[in-house]
Amino acid sequence: MKTLLLLLCGFTTHRDSLPELTQLDYKVVSATEWNNLFTRHSGWFGGDGIFTIPMNGVDTAHANDSTLILFSDTMTGDIKAGKLQPGFSMIHNSVAILNGNAPLEKNIRFYWNLDSKGRPATLFEPHTPAAGKDDYYWLGDGFVNAAVKHNTYIFAYRIRNISREDFGFAEVGNVLIVLPAGSKPPFKAYRQIDTPLFLPADSSHGSGSFGGAVFVNTKEAGAPYPDGYVYVYGVRGQEKAVLVARVPVAEVENFGRWRYWDGHQWNADIRQAAAVTEHASNELSLTPLKDGRYALVFQVDGMGTAVGLRLGLTPAGPFGPIILLKYGNARK
C-alpha cells in the first residue's frame, strides 16, 4: 500500500463568481513516513477499504487528537524474508487508532476480535433483523456527530457470498454502526441499524449504496461554508456513478429526513437519486477548497490504475472533468 500526499493550493477566486472546474494547482509527493508506518511484517499487515475518522469531530488532524482508521478485508500473520508464513488469517474488518497526527510507530495500534481459539476474528459482525446467518460487513466512511452526543457513526455494507467463483459476493444491505462517545476497541457496546440506503439492481441500473464518503458541512466540523447538513455519497453500478444524499446532522438516524439529489432538487425518494458524475470508486472523498470549490477524489473506474479528481461548485456538483493526479508532477 502506497501513501501519497496531495497538496492542494488555494485560489483567490471569489465564491460568488464562477470558479474554474478544469484546472487546479497541485503537487503529489511520496509520504515516506506514512508508507513506512503501514509497511508491516507481523500482526496486521494489510487492509482495504480504508477510511479515517477524526475523533474530535473536526476534519483537521491536530497533535492532541486521535484518529480512528477503518479497514475492510484485513490480513494478519507474519511475513519473513518476503514470504507469507503459515497461520495467516483474513478477516472482514478491523480498525486502528492513531494518537496525534504524526506517523510514529509508538502512536498506532491495530485492533480485531479473537475467536474461541484465540485466532484473529472480524471486529464488527452483523446482528440486525435483516442480517443473514453468514453475512459480514465491509466498512464505509464515518464521522463523529457533535449534534448527537458525539457518537461515532460508521456506514457498513452487508455482504453475502453467493458463489465460489472469483468476486462471488454481493452487497445485500446497508447498515449504520453507532459507537457511543468514548468507546474503545473492541467496541462491545454499540448499536447496528438497518438503513434504506441500499439500492437493488433494476432494469436500468446496477445496485448501489450510500456511505462511500461523508462530508460533515457544519461549523463544529470546521467546514468553511457550513449549512448544518451531513452529505453522504453513494456509488452505483459498473459505471461507478456517484449519488449524493444529505440530512440535518442531528437527524441522521431519522431516515424520513434524508433527501437525495435528483439533478434538480433534494428529493425524498431515494429511487430518484441521480448520478452527479461517473467513473469514480466505492471509496472516495470530498474536500472543500479555500476558493469555494470542492475536490472529489477517487480511483478512476473503481479498480483502475489512476487517481482522479473532479472539481465541483457545491457538495452535489456540478462537477468538472477528471483531472488525473500524477505522482511527482505539479500541474496548473
Q: How many CA atoms lie within 13 A of 155 on its CB side?
A: 29
Please state which CATH class domain 4-331 belongs to: mainly beta
d(CA 85, CA 59) in angstroms, rounded, equals: 39
> Considering the chain, what percentage of its residues have pLDDT values greater than 90?
85
Sheet containing 294-299: which strands, arranged edge to edge?
A: 284-288, 294-299, 307-312, 323-324
pLDDT exceeds cutoff 80 at 275 = yes
pLDDT exceeds cutoff 70 at 61 = yes
CB 41 within 8 A of CB 78: yes
Write down the pLDDT at residue 60: 81
CB 172 within 8 A of CB 160: yes
pLDDT in tens, 199-253: 999 989 999 999 999 999 999 999 999 999 999 999 999 999 999 999 999 999 9
pLDDT exceeds cutoff 70 at 3 = no
Query: All 3 cell numbers of residue 72?
Result: 475492510
Question: Cell 449504496 sits at which residue?
Answer: 209
Q: What are the φ/ψ torsions at residue 249 (nearest 5 degrees)? A: -60, -30
Write down the pLDDT at residue 89: 96
Q: Which helix (H) or strand (E) holds 32?
A: helix 32-38
Write down the pLDDT at residue 165: 72
Query: All 3 cell numbers of residue 172?
Result: 445485500
Beta bridge partners of 8: 26
Mean pLDDT of 308-321: 97
Q: Are strands 229-236 and 208-217 parallel, antiparallel or unpaired?
A: antiparallel
Closest CA to 45 of 94, 115, 5, 3: 94
Kindly report the number of other CB atoms within 10 A of residue 255's CB atom: 15
Radius of gyration for the chain, computed over Cα atoms and rounded to the nearest angstrom: 20
The residue extents of the domains of the chain are: 4-331
